[in-house]
Structure 1
Amino acid sequence: MAEPAHAARPRTTRDADDMAVGVATSSVPPCLATIHVLPVGERTDIRIDGELDFGSRQLWDRLEEALDDSAGGVDLDLGEVGFCDCAGLNLLLDLRRRAMDHGKTVTLRVSCPSVDRLLELTGARELFPQAGPASQSAGAAPDERFPRVDVDGELRREVTELRRAMRTRPGIDLARGILMATFNLSPEAAWTVLVTASQNTNTKLHVLAQDLVGTVRGMPLPEEVRQQVAAAVTQARRVMEAPPA
């Protein structure tokens, strides 16, 4: 049977009272996601529910453990993820990178609209192959439910994606530099601004980067894009300037 879900402790009345009277609390954002782990043969089924944002980084140790305990890798069920931002995407990419480093794979068995859109906008969709559907037969062998993924094929896929990234990365790096110089942002904050504005305007990341680079030559941004970039910059600077707890 599946192991118990792991998530951040829900806020209690005592927590609220402590905040009201000025008791120091942690600056770490709450984790609004839970995971359910089910080993199936040589692979491990991981279902994630909730929101994949910066707070979900607290799930990393459990995800890493589930990956390490599997022989072939993990299959993700993200059907109940209601929200995913660039921090959530980075969590998934880090899990995939660790899997590849150990000759394993991460497949996407069930996705959701918020994850699908980020994968599409950032060009990362092909990095997460679709796992075969679960067998309808209760007595199906584990390998029939979760077929082994060809690691060599995954490596070839990654090389293809890296070559594609090499063609678009210079423009993205230029756009990050423009944001860093214009708004005094860190490299991480500038990346967050790009991904957030890309997501909120439904614009490919490399296309948005080209538009930002074009502003140096006097080309105006579309009004919707300008507003979303400005909002993302404001949020990023608020995070950067937040005093430590």
Structure 2
Amino acid sequence: MPEPAQPLFVEGAGRAEGDGESAVLMPCLVAVDVVPDGRRMRVKVRGELDYGGQPLRRDLDEALHRSDSGIDLDLTALEFCDCSGLNVLLGLRQRALGQGKTVAIRGSSPAVERLLDVTGTRDLFAQPGPDDQATAPTDPRDARPQRETEQDLRTEVIQLRRAIRTRPTIDLARGMLVVSFGLSPEAAWNVLVNTSQNTNTKVHRLARDLIGTIHGGRLPEAVQKQLAAEVAKARRSTSSP
């Protein structure tokens, strides 16, 4: 008999990196519902997933441990997700592979769709095949699929490291937009993403160049115009009734 849905609320606060009393508390605005689904666990994530969502890892790891073959994520109710949130999901997938399991995104909100497209990580969360296992082949004739699997793993590690490395830069640039123009964190993220897409500039490079303006650097004229247009659009949207 299937187990009932188990809401695992990640409320309160997550503690940012730091020592003792000097650590800064970050609000955690996400909650998850976990439902067994055959050999897998179906996990619905709701709210806003950013750096404050680090405590979510404990609940995701518990769901992964309870599953036989992995986790199916429903992210349709995730209103906001930034690079910090993506790192939580990438880390979960890495740990799942280490256990011979998979993590698949079965549905996602527009905010998640945009993030997956910009970071090129959508394929890492593709739905598993019929055996939904990340096991190594034993038949010598399966050598080619095994090589492809190893290449996928190497690609994933590279993307994970890149995401971790660029996250502080992107978060700092987003913070600059929040402070400078009075935008919400979500609006500032949208400004970065839309400017990136419309100028064909990687988000992490745009963030790096934006931070460089503090020390006298200048953005290319086309990027300046697009950034200004996106900021103006975001502010109009915020002031609209």
Q: Same fold, TM exceeding 0.5?
A: yes
Deviations 1:62-83 (A, max 9, x none): 1111111111000000011111
Question: 2:205 aligned with 1:209, yes or no?
Answer: yes
- Higher relative contact order by CA 8 Å / sep ≥ 6: 1 or 2? 1
Query: Whole-Å Cα distance in 2 between the matches of residues 208 and 124 of structure 1?
Result: 15
1:190–1:154 Cα change, 3 Å: farther
Quote the residue 1:199 is aligned against.
Answer: 193
Query: Whole-Å Cα distance in 1 between the matches of residues 204 and 166 of structure 2?
Result: 17
User: How far is the alpha carbon of 1:117 from its aligned partner?
Assistant: 0.6
Query: Whole-Å Cα distance in 2 between the matches of residues 32 and 42 of structure 1?
Result: 29
Quote the residue 2:71 is aligned against.
Answer: 74
RMSD (Å), alpha carbons: 4.3
Say which of 8, 11, 32 aligns to 1:8. 11
User: How far is the alpha carbon of 1:101 from its aligned partner?
Assistant: 1.2
Quote the residue 1:20 is aligned against.
Answer: none
Query: Whole-Å Cα distance in 1 between the matches of residues 22 and 156 of structure 2?
Result: 44
Quote the residue 1:223 is aligned against.
Answer: 224
Give 5+ residue unaligned stretches, structure 1.
11-23, 133-146, 174-185, 229-245
User: How far is the alpha carbon of 1:27 from its aligned partner?
Assistant: 2.4
Query: Whole-Å Cα distance in 2 between the matches of residues 156 and 81 of structure 1?
Result: 32
Quote the residue 1:43 is aligned against.
Answer: 40
Give 5+ residue unaligned stretches, structure 2.
14-20, 137-144, 175-188, 230-241
Question: 2:35 aligned with 1:52, yes or no?
Answer: no
Structure 1 segment 145-184 matched on structure 2, within 5 A:
147-151=130-134, 156=148, 159-160=151-152, 162=154
Say which of 190, 194, 212 aligns to 2:169. 190
Quote the residue 1:30 is aligned against.
Answer: 27
**Identity rate of aligned residues, in percent?**
33
TM-score (norm 1): 0.60
Query: Whole-Å Cα distance in 2 between the matches of residues 79 and 123 of structure 1?
Result: 19
TM-score (norm 2): 0.61
Secondary structure of the residue that 2:59 maps to in structure 1? helix
The answer to whether the Cα contact below 8 Å between 2:40 and 2:71 also exists between their aligned partners in 1 is yes
Letter in 1 for 2:60: L
Structure 1 segment 94-133 matched on structure 2, within 5 A:
94-130=91-127
Query: Whole-Å Cα distance in 1 between the matches of residues 82 and 24 of structure 2?
Result: 19
1:191–1:25 Cα change, 3 Å: closer
Aligned residues, how many?
187
User: How far is the alpha carbon of 1:102 from its aligned partner?
Assistant: 1.1
Query: Whole-Å Cα distance in 1 between the matches of residues 112 and 147 of structure 2?
Result: 22
Query: Whole-Å Cα distance in 1 between the matches of residues 48 and 146 of structure 2?
Result: 27
Query: Whole-Å Cα distance in 2 between the matches of residues 112 and 155 of structure 1?
Result: 33
Deviations 1:216-237 (A, max 9, x none): 9x96561156669xxxxxxxxx
User: How far is the alpha carbon of 1:40 from its aligned partner?
Assistant: 1.5
The answer to whether the Cα contact below 8 Å between 2:84 and 2:167 also exists between their aligned partners in 1 is no
